[in-house]
Every structure is written in structure tokens, then in C-alpha cells.
């Protein structure tokens, strides 16, 4: 289990979001990080097969988006409490 909080990643952390732009939970995660001015890198796991493969490697083949990775550590798939995706 990760020790990272997806809503409050440590300052300077590398945040990667594996998303589908058709998924409302992916869009909510992006909107949250934009609103909070938390930098992140987005990876389109729906269209880009290499990004999807990377997401599956992090998430133990879970197809749920968004998949959230902080400092190279998979934290969770989905967004909200409890996470949905």
C-alpha cells in the first residue's frame, strides 16, 4: 500500500496520470491538479498503446483510469473517495 496521498503529493514529486479523455474521473483528476497548481505529466492510455502498456505494468493490469503514479510508485486507479474510474 502506498504512503502517498493523491490529493496532496509531496512538493517536487513527479506525478504521472494515465488517463482516458473520455473518462469523467480522469478529467476530474486533471481539473483538480490544474486548480491546485500541482504539476503532472499526462499519459493517454486510451489512444497510445505504449502508454497503456506502461499503465498496466504499474497497475498490475488494472484497466481503470486515471492510474496515478507518484515518484515512480503506483498509488491508485480511479479518482474520488472511494476511487471511481
The pLDDT of residue 1: 57
- Structural domains present in the chain: 15-77 (3.40.30.10)
**DSSP assigned state of 9:** P
- pLDDT band per the 50, 70, 90 thresholds, residue 57: very high
Q: Tell me the average pLDDT across 25-49.
A: 97
Q: What are phi and psi of 33, to 5 degrees?
A: -65, -35
CB within 8 Å of 85: residues ≥ 6 apart: 23, 25, 26, 64, 65, 66, 77, 78, 79
Report yes or no: 16 and 73 within 8 Å, Cβ to Cβ: no
The pLDDT of residue 27: 97
Q: What are phi and psi of 54, to 5 degrees?
A: -65, -40
**What is the pTM assigned to this prediction?**
0.93
Residue 9 has pLDDT above 80, yes or no: yes
Amino acid at each position: 500500500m502506498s504512503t502517498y496521498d493523491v490529493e496532496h503529493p509531496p512538493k517536487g514529486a513527479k506525478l504521472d496520470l494515465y488517463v482516458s479523455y473520455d473518462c469523467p474521473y480522469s478529467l476530474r483528476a486533471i481539473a483538480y491538479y490544474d486548480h491546485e497548481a500541482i504539476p503532472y505529466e499526462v499519459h493517454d492510455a486510451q489512444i497510445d498503446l505504449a502508454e497503456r502498456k506502461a499503465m498496466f505494468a504499474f497497475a498490475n493490469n488494472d484497466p481503470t483510469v486515471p492510474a496515478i503514479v507518484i515518484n515512480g510508485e503506483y498509488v491508485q486507479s480511479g479518482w474520488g473517495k472511494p476511487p471511481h474510474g
